[in-house]
Chains A and B, each alone.
Chain A
Amino acid sequence: KAGVTQTPRYLIKTRGQQVTLSCSPISGHRSVSWYQQTPGQGLQFLFEYFSETQRNKGNFPGRFSGRQFSNSRSEMNVSTLELGDSALYLCASSLVGTGTGYTFGSGTRLTVV
């Protein structure tokens, strides 16, 4: 079956712009989480959605936001981009109720110039 699909794979944006990243979870998975990975900070949790509701949120500024649609697809948005937002953004989905692990996508590599 298809895995977690993230689009686009690579993105270059200018400081001050905004960006929207997309994530399609595995069919049937209703829990979607987003992570940011940088060389300095490692993997950091951004937020988690389940049934269109945000269940958990990490320690990121309000410029980072997300949403989940009724088909479980999710988007995250970063406004007023800063150089420090350059990172690999990873989406992960899970089949709730089974206690199984998250399946991660390959990520979107965002470069802010």
Chain B
Amino acid sequence: DAKTTQPPSMDCAEGRAANLPCNHSTISGNEYVYWYRQIHSQGPQYIIHGLKNNETNEMASLIITEDRKSSTLILPHATLRDTAVYYCIVSLASGGSQGNLIFGKGTKLSVKP
């Protein structure tokens, strides 16, 4: 079973920030938080990952709470093309490999004009 809990759906207005929450209260010290998204009929796309510090890249920002029990993915200026299912996953990165990714049901984000 997935070790994360996400809301099933969220709406966001185009141009506004989309904040997607994720709870992972049983995360262990050596597990990373990964975010992927899947646009309809395509393969999942890697967005960002982090261990304990906040992270930012060209796609998004990842905010991880100090106790690491929850995190938030932030899309700073959502566009219609950001409409997708967003998956939050906790995973070991042993030996440089992530091992298997356990996908939950994710959050379906709908960006509306």
Give the interface of A toward B (CB within 8 A): 4, 31, 33, 35, 42-45, 48, 50, 55-56, 58, 90, 92, 94, 96-107
Contacts and interface: CB of A to CB of B under 8 A. Distances in A.
A98 B32 CA distance: 13
Interface string B15-52: 00000000000000000101010000011111111000
B45 A104 contact: yes
Which secondary structure dominates chain A's binding surface?
strand
Interface in B73-111: 87, 93, 95-105
Contacts of B46: 100-104
A58 B100 contact: yes
Nearest to A90: B43
Contact of B101 (A45, A50, A103): A45
A99 B43 contact: no
Given A42-B105, A99-B49, A94 B97 contact: yes
Contact of B100 (A33, A90, A98, A103): A33
A107 B43 contact: yes
B66 to A, nearest CB: 21
A18 B103 CA distance: 27
A42 B99 contact: no
Contacts of A55: 97, 99
Given A99-B32, A101-B36, A45 B100 contact: yes
Most buried by A among B46, B47, B48, B49: B46
A56 B36 contact: no
